[in-house]
Structure 1
C-alpha cells in the first residue's frame, strides 16, 4: 500500500491531468465554435467530467481560457524583486525577457503552436476576454510598481518605471505576435527577437539607468 506521501503525489498528478484535459477541451471548443457559443456544460460533456468538476478547477468560464496565461502576472515584479546586487530594474527585466526569448517562451509571443496564436486572436476579438487581458496587464504593472516603491520609497517614480518596463515587454510580445500572424515563421521572428529586445531596453535605460540600482 502506498504511503501518505505517495498517495498525495498521485492525487495531485491526477488533479493536474484532469485540469489540463478540461483546459485543452475548452480551448478546442472555443476555437472551433467561438468563446461565447460554448457553455461550461458543453465543455464538461466533451471532457467527460461533471460540470461541478470543471468549476472545481476553474472558477469561471473566463478562467478556463485566461487562467493559465495569468500565471505570468507576477513575472515583472518577480524579476525586480529577485535581481542581484548592482542590478537595476532595467537590467533585471531585460534579463528576464532575453531568457524567455532564448527558451522560446509563449509568454513573450514566440509560440510555435498554431493553437496558441489562434487563442491570441480569439482573445482580441472577444470583448470580455480582451478586457480581462487588459486588467491582467494592469495588475502586473501595479505589482512591479509596488515592489519598486517598497524598495526606493518613491511611489511616483516607481509607477513611472514600472509603466515603462511593462510597456517594453508588451511591445515586444505584440511585435512577435504581429510578425508571426503576418506569416513569418517563429524561427525567423526568434532570430531577430533578441536584437529587438536589446534595442528596446536601451531606449528605456537612457532614462532609468540610475533608478533602483540595488545596493
Structure 2
C-alpha cells in the first residue's frame, strides 16, 4: 500500500514546481523581453501544462513579482513586531537601514548581476511597473491597518502615514538602483544611501512626530 505524502513533502514539491516555473519564465524574459514571451513558451520550458502554470501564477506579471511577495506586507510586520516603547517610524527606519547593510535587493542597493537584471526588467516593462504599483498599494493598506491596530492613530492618520512611509521607502530604493545603473557599486553607494535614508526618515519624523 502506498503511503500518502506528508504535508511538508507536498509543500516542498509545490515550492520546487513554483520556483522552476518562475526561473524558466525569468530566463526567457531576460533573454527576449517580457512582451515577447508567451505563457505557452514558459510552460513548455518549465515542462508543465498551461493549466498548472496558471494554478501557481494567475497572471504573467506574477511570474516576476512573486519574487518580492514577502516584501508586500513587510512594513506592517515590522510595525506589529516592534519592541515596546519603540515608535513605528523608528522601527521602520532601523529596519530599512539594516536592509541597506544586508544589501537587501528591495532597498535598491544590490549589484549582483542577477538582481540587477531582474530589476532592470521590472523598471523597463510597463506591465510590470503597473503590477508593482498594485504591490505598493497593498503594502500601504497593510501598514495602515498595522498602525491602526498598534497605535492611537485615527484611520485617516494611519492611511496618510502609510502612504508617506511606503512612498519614501520606494523612492529611496529607486534612487539607489539608478545610482547603480549609472555606474556606482553597492559598496560605493552605501554611505550615501544611509545618509539619504536618515534624511528621509528625519523628514517623516517632523511631520509624523505625533504617531506614537
TM-score, with normalisation over the residues of structure 1?
0.88
Query: Taking structure 1 as reference, are residues 3 and 199 closer, same or farther at Cα in structure 2, changes over 3 Å only?
Result: farther
Q: For residue 190 of structure 1, report the CA deviation from its aligned partner.
A: 2.6
**What SS is found at the alignment partner of 2:86?**
coil
Pair 1:104 & 2:114 matched: no
In structure 1, how many angstroms separate the alpha carbons of the residues matched to 2:69 and 2:8? 25
In structure 2, how many angstroms separate the alpha carbons of the residues matched to 1:174 and 1:16? 30
Q: For residue 125 of structure 1, report the CA deviation from its aligned partner.
A: 2.9
Q: For residue 124 of structure 1, report the CA deviation from its aligned partner.
A: 2.5
Q: For residue 30 of structure 1, report the CA deviation from its aligned partner.
A: 0.7
**Aligned residue pairs, count:** 211
**What SS is found at the alignment partner of 2:61?**
helix
Aligned to 2:129: 130
In structure 2, how many angstroms separate the alpha carbons of the residues matched to 1:153 and 1:207? 14
In structure 1, how many angstroms separate the alpha carbons of the residues matched to 2:110 and 2:24? 19
RMSD: 2.2
**What SS is found at the alignment partner of 1:152?**
coil
Query: Taking structure 1 as reference, are residues 94 and 35 closer, same or farther at Cα in structure 2, changes over 3 Å only?
Result: same
Aligned to 1:193: 193
Pair 1:44 & 2:43 matched: yes
Shifted more, 73-82 versus 113-122: the winner is 113-122
In structure 2, how many angstroms separate the alpha carbons of the residues matched to 1:154 and 1:61? 38
Q: For residue 127 of structure 1, report the CA deviation from its aligned partner.
A: 2.1
Q: Is the 8 A contact 2:176 2:189 kept in 1?
A: yes
Q: For residue 186 of structure 1, report the CA deviation from its aligned partner.
A: 1.8
Q: Is the 8 A contact 1:152 1:158 kept in 2?
A: no
Aligned to 1:156: 156
Q: Is the 8 A contact 2:111 2:180 kept in 1?
A: no
Pair 1:18 & 2:17 matched: yes
Runs (4+) of structure 1 exceeding 3 A deviation are: 1-4
**What SS is found at the alignment partner of 1:59?**
coil
Point out where structure 1 has 5 or more consecutive residues left out of the alignment.
none
Q: Over residues 117-149 of structure 1, what are the superposed CA-to-partner deviations in whole Å (9 max), with x where a residue is unaligned?
A: 222232233222211111211221122122223
Q: For residue 10 of structure 1, report the CA deviation from its aligned partner.
A: 2.9
Q: How does 1:1-215 map to 2 (within 5 A)?
A: 7-150=6-149, 151-211=151-211, 213=212
In structure 2, how many angstroms separate the alpha carbons of the residues matched to 1:44 and 1:160? 42
Shifted more, 147-156 versus 66-75: the winner is 147-156
Q: Over residues 78-137 of structure 1, what are the superposed CA-to-partner deviations in whole Å (9 max), with x where a residue is unaligned?
A: 122222221112111112112211221111112233232222232233222211111211
In structure 2, how many angstroms separate the alpha carbons of the residues matched to 1:163 and 1:205? 14
Shifted more, 145-154 versus 174-183: the winner is 145-154
